[in-house]
Structure formats: C-alpha cells, structure tokens
Amino acid sequence: MSLTNEEFRPKIVAFCCNWCSYAGADLAGSSRLSYPADVKIIRVPCSCRVNPMFILRAFEKGADGVIICGCHPGDCHYSTGNYYARRRMTLLFSMLDYVGIERGRTRVEWVSAAEGVKFSQTMNEFVETVRSLGKNVRLGDLRCKN
C-alpha cells in the first residue's frame, strides 16, 4: 500500500486516558485491528487532564483533527474525570465550530479497556471524517512557516 502524493494524510492527535482508552488502544494493537497511521496517541492519566489549550495548540501547529478518548460514563478510574472532560469539550467544540473548525474535526469518545474493536472502528471513522473535510486551515500558526 504505497502512498500517492495526492492522497491527503491528515494529522490526528488522540488523547487517551491511561486506564481505559490507552488500554483499549493496546488491545486494538495486540488484536491486530488496524487503523490509519495518521493517528498519534498522547497518553494522559485521565480525559479530564486534557486542557482545551492542548487542543488549540494542536490546531495551531497544524493538526487536522483531535479526538479525546476516556472511560465510559460511570467507569472513570477517578470517578468523575470523564464528566468534566465531557462538559469542557462540549463548550470548547462549540467555540471551535464558531471559529470555523468543523465539528467533524473534534470528537470525544468513550472506549473501555476491553473495547479494542471499538477503538479501531472509532479511529477509522474519525480519520475518514477528517479526510473528507480536508486540510485544516483555521487557527494555524502563520508565523515563520518552514
């Protein structure tokens, strides 16, 4: 599967909580459930550790999509962290939508440690959505482009 130049390869940042989603990604890996290499995972202790600033930074630095994965509601290792994440991201995403970063580029998904299949499916879908939206041009840092 060699890549052609024309094919758009989005940059995707995935924040995964250590207890559920990162483990779910590991399970997807050990079960050999593939998803596009465009997805790069950053491990955080909990989805509530994801500061909106990180997401803005990602878009500023050229990310085309950002996804946050946490434990299912009620299953958070820290009891309530994912609820905070959900509320914060709802606000942030609507603000991002307002400034022109389409809803399809941002997503929150609950993936448990046992859901390797869901992790891979989610990433496949998300990458497909972002691909269809094309390159992100909003919020990009226009200074000193190398």
Instruction: Determine if 22 is a binding residue for another protein (CB under 8 A).
Output: yes
Instruction: Determine if 44 is a binding residue for another protein (CB under 8 A).
Output: yes
84-123 in b/e form (b: 16+ CB < 10 A) is bbbebbeebbeebeeeebbeebbbbbbbbbebbebbbbbb
Tell me the three state secondary structure of residue 106.
strand
**Binder among 67, 68, 69, 81 for another protein (CB under 8 A):** 81
Where in 112-141 is the site for another protein (CB under 8 A)? 112-115, 120
Kindly compute the dihedral angle of the four CA atoms of residues 11, 17, 18, 22, in this order, to the nearest 10 degrees.
Answer: -50
Instruction: Determine if 50 is a binding residue for another protein (CB under 8 A).
Output: yes
- Separation of alpha carbons 59 and 12, rounded Å: 10
**Binder among 71, 101, 108, 127 for another protein (CB under 8 A):** 71
Instruction: Determine if 54 is a binding residue for another protein (CB under 8 A).
Output: yes
Instruction: Determine if 79 is a binding residue for another protein (CB under 8 A).
Output: yes
Q: Is-contact 111 21, C-beta < 8 A?
A: yes
**Closest CB 3 distance from another protein, rounded Å:** 7
Q: Is-contact 75 27, C-beta < 8 A?
A: no
Give the footprint of another protein on this chain (CB under 8 A): 1-3, 11, 13, 18-20, 22-23, 25-26, 28-30, 32-35, 37, 40-46, 48-54, 57-58, 61-63, 71, 74-81, 84, 88, 112-115, 120
